[in-house]
Amino acid sequence: MTGGIVDIAIIESWDEVMTSLRAEVGEAAFDSWLKPMTVRDMVGDQVRISVPTRFMRDWVVAHYADRISALWCRNIEIFVQSDHGPGEGDGKMARVAPATEPAPVANVATTATGEIPAADPRFVNAPAPVPAYTLSTPVITGMAQVALEISAPLDPRCTFDNFVVGKPNEFAHAAAQRVAESDTAQFNPLFLYGGVGLGKTHLMHAIAWKIRQRDPNRTVIYMSAEKFMYRFIRALREQKTVDFKDHFRNVDVLMIDDVQFIGGKDSTQEEFFHTFNALVDQGRQIVISADKSPSDLEGMEDRLKSRLNCGLVADIHATTYELRVGILQAKAEKLGIEIPPKVQEFLAHKITANVRELEGALNRVAAHAQLVGREVSLESAQDVLHDLIRANDRRVTIEEIQKKVASHFNIRTSDMHSARRARSVARPRQVAMYLAKQLTSRSLPEIGRKFGGRDHTTVMHAVKKVEELTERDAGFAEDVELLRRMLES
């Protein structure tokens, strides 16, 4: 049957689907697997999409087709576009309807030892791979050489020297240093986790730099879990899984970043699990990062979770105000610019999401000052970061703050105005006053009035007290930070 013409509305909605998917799966996966797809035609209510190779078709069907179909609310059919036009009746088609059963093509089966069964028909009979998305194979000499070739490049800025330590990251930092400075495996694995932009990758690079510096003969591989997966898949396709295993199983230190990425990717998990075990058995060091704790990783097999939990799990917490100021000062010094304390305070109060954003804001402020040839000032910073701040700066009222804080600490909102002085209500009240000062433009007397007619000196005292406590008590600091974030979003 020949296909109908695809109208413009379909192409436009297809572009939207692709845009969402790009955001979902990340640039690298998108470029490798999704970009090469082309909408060809429609047959009945089915949109037909072509991909260049059979391998790709299988991969897309196994991993993305359901999602595409669901996002698009259309039935889709994915076929391999050979030079002679779409193949038909030869098993090259794969159809997917929205919200149906999982896609028909299973993940690559592996045996208990992680070997690929030789008779897997999809690989034995697969046509020669098309070079469109192959990665180059490294020239192999000594082991350290191999590690260097395989390892992703390390960012020269991401060293221990450049890492600012504060309460939220001191534990992770100490663990990372310990791993970097010892010649034998310490905790296996070291598992670093925390939200985006909080320094996981930085710490991993720092470990790698340090180890290479201490002993250039030790082989260190650092790579993202995503890259690990691509390499594994390529090895499968090129039937070079033995080489693949050798590369990984002979390293001294293996670091895999953002391991949450392989959640749900069963055959990659399987391979990773075996690589992991082989290295641990030989006493090699493994360092893993993820955005969640091992137990909370989604789509991860239980045995892998429990393995990841076996070593040392170190959590990087959200930044505190103090850490943000520390980071600003360190980065400003590196950039060789003067940032007045008022501007530091402003940035540390306003850009709270993560270190990456903070860095971005500082760079913008610095670039602007350089461009106009003037010193950095509060006005210029406010001006330059206008859009960024506005996004964070929804107007919050004192009443909202009181309500949120009261419910967070499990007290009645009326206690914000009451005369009760028990610690259990006085402390939350102080937090609310502090947040009112930080997040609204009300004056101290105005804030005092809203808290049952208290004096402005009481508010001042509350602000000082909370600042003092956040410095001493990381748990408390996190509570305050969390509240701030909830109120600002």
Nearest distance in Å: CB 20, ligand ADP: 22
Rounded-to-integer distance, Cα 342 and Cα 349, Å: 11
Q: Which stretch binds Mg ion (CB under 5 A): 201-209, 279-287, 302-310, 454-462?
A: 201-209
Q: Does 241 bind Mg ion (CB under 5 A)?
A: no
Q: Which residues contact 471 (CB under 8 A, 6 or more apart)?
A: 322, 477
Rounded-to-integer distance, Cα 82 and Cα 84, Å: 5
Considering only 120, 266, 315, 359, the residue that binds ligand ADP (CB under 6 A) is 359
Which string of b and e fits 154-182 if b means at least 16 CB within 10 Å?
beeebbbebbbbbbbbebbbebbbebbee
Nearest distance in Å: CB 258, ligand ADP: 7
Say if CB 110 and CB 271 are below 8 A apart. yes
Nearest distance in Å: CB 204, ligand ADP: 8
Q: Does 224 bind Mg ion (CB under 5 A)?
A: no
C-beta atoms surrounding 87 within 10 Å:
15
Say if CB 153 and CB 205 are below 8 A apart. no
Paired tokens of 172: 């992770």
Considering only 75, 151, 188, 201, the residue that binds Mg ion (CB under 5 A) is 201
Q: Binding mask 119-158 vs ligand ADP (x if CB under 6 A, - otherwise)? A: ---------------------------------------x
Within a 13 Å sphere around the CA of 305, how many CA atoms are in the beta-carbon half?
13
199 binds, among ligand ADP, Mg ion, none (CB under 5 to 8 A by kind): ligand ADP
Q: Which CB, 48 or 200, lies closer to Mg ion?
A: 200
Paired tokens of 7: 């109208």
Nearest distance in Å: CB 155, Mg ion: 11
Q: Which CB, 197 or 264, lies closer to ligand ADP?
A: 197
CA dihedral (12, 14, 17, 19) in degrees, to 10, reads: -60
Rounded-to-integer distance, Cα 417 and Cα 453, Å: 8
Please report, as residue ranges, which positions from 313 to 332 form the binding site for ligand ADP (by CB under 6 A).
Answer: 327
Q: Which residues share a beta bridge with 257? A: 224
Dmax over CA atoms of the chain, in Å, equals 84
348 binds, among Mg ion, ligand ADP, none (CB under 5 to 8 A by kind): none
Please report, as residue ranges, which positions from 267 to 326 form the binding site for Mg ion (by CB under 5 A).
Answer: none
Q: Which stretch binds ligand ADP (CB under 6 A): 133-141, 353-361, 369-377, 469-477?
A: 353-361
Q: Does 190 bind ligand ADP (CB under 6 A)?
A: no
Considering only 50, 110, 151, 201, the residue that binds ligand ADP (CB under 6 A) is 201
Considering only 56, 175, 198, 406, the residue that binds ligand ADP (CB under 6 A) is 198
Rounded-to-integer distance, Cα 124 and Cα 234, Å: 14
Q: Where do contacts with Mg ion occur on this chain (CB under 5 A)?
A: 200-201
Give the binding site for ligand ADP (CB under 6 A).
158, 162-164, 169, 194, 196-202, 327, 355-356, 359
